[in-house]
Homo-oligomer: A and B are copies of this chain.
């Protein structure tokens, strides 16, 4: 039975899993769970994942969620995935695990909280909290600085001084791509100071084309729509609907 991948292309970890599958020739069926239409709250999806999160995969009888766990599983269980994505060598693998674990409470926490308290607040039906947004921006900027000065310190193209991308590059770059929906001023303030990070994003895009662009197309459509609304001075709350 073909692997089923439940995703939403506006979810950054969903995009990482989709790009990984396409890059590695994994045969799969993509099933969209539209978070804005609240499809993750349906009884049908609760059967698939009681945590109601995307991405989720179903491989035969086996259901799995949490994108890092999914990426590790796909790299190990599917034949033909190149070793650089998640090396079998214990030390190389542990370094990638270290980046992935660091991601959760740092880059991911900062980026998600900032976006939830700015651009996505109206979509989520929450009142944006400027204090929380400011704290989240600090965390996000500190995380980008750590990537710039620590994880990318070896002057190689990818994290940890690697010459080929790993699942950590894919996961973290997809996270940062979510900042595309910010207005230019916010995005430049946050990403502008981090030149190595910007180059690494470009290198990851190149190493994963054409799938990276294809899977990010919906995000860029939303970005264009949001920019249009900003220019028109429209009410974001009522106009965001995709």
Residues of A participating in the B interface, judged by any CB pair closer than 8 Å: 50-51, 62, 64-70, 72-73, 76-77, 90-91, 93-95, 97-98, 100-102, 104-105, 108-109, 146, 150
Name the distance in Å between A174's Cβ and chain B's nearest Cβ.
15
| Cβ contacts under 8 Å, A104 to chain B | 101, 104-105
Minimum-distance CB pairs A-B, first 3: A104-B104, A69-B97, A66-B101
* Contact partner, A64, options B94, B100, B109, Cβ 8 Å: B94
Of all chain B residues, the one with the shortest Cβ separation from A13 is: B101
**Complex-state Cα separation, A64 to B97, whole angstroms:** 10
Of all chain B residues, the one with the shortest Cβ separation from A88 is: B76
| Cβ contacts under 8 Å, A97 to chain B | 66, 68-69, 72-73
Whether B68 and A101, one on each chain, are in contact in the complex, defined by CB atoms closer than 8 angstroms, is yes
Whether B150 and A51, one on each chain, are in contact in the complex, defined by CB atoms closer than 8 angstroms, is yes
Name the distance in Å between A78's Cβ and chain B's nearest Cβ.
10
A-B contact pairs, 30 of them (CB 8 A): A51-B102, A51-B150, A62-B91, A62-B94, A64-B94, A64-B95, A64-B98, A66-B97, A66-B98, A66-B101, A66-B102, A67-B101, A69-B97, A69-B98, A69-B100, A69-B101, A72-B94, A73-B90, A73-B91, A73-B93, A73-B94, A73-B97, A76-B90, A76-B93, A77-B94, A100-B101, A104-B104, A105-B105, A105-B108, A105-B109
Of all chain B residues, the one with the shortest Cβ separation from A71 is: B97
Name the distance in Å between A51's Cβ and chain B's nearest Cβ.
7
Of all chain B residues, the one with the shortest Cβ separation from A103 is: B104
**Complex-state Cα separation, A93 to B90, whole angstroms:** 15
**Complex-state Cα separation, A101 to B98, whole angstroms:** 12
The residue in A70, A93, A101 that gathers the most chain B C-beta atoms within 10 A of its C-beta is A101
**Complex-state Cα separation, A95 to B108, whole angstroms:** 21
**Complex-state Cα separation, A109 to B104, whole angstroms:** 10
Name the distance in Å between A150's Cβ and chain B's nearest Cβ.
6
**Complex-state Cα separation, A94 to B62, whole angstroms:** 10
Name the distance in Å between A31's Cβ and chain B's nearest Cβ.
19
Name the distance in Å between A62's Cβ and chain B's nearest Cβ.
5
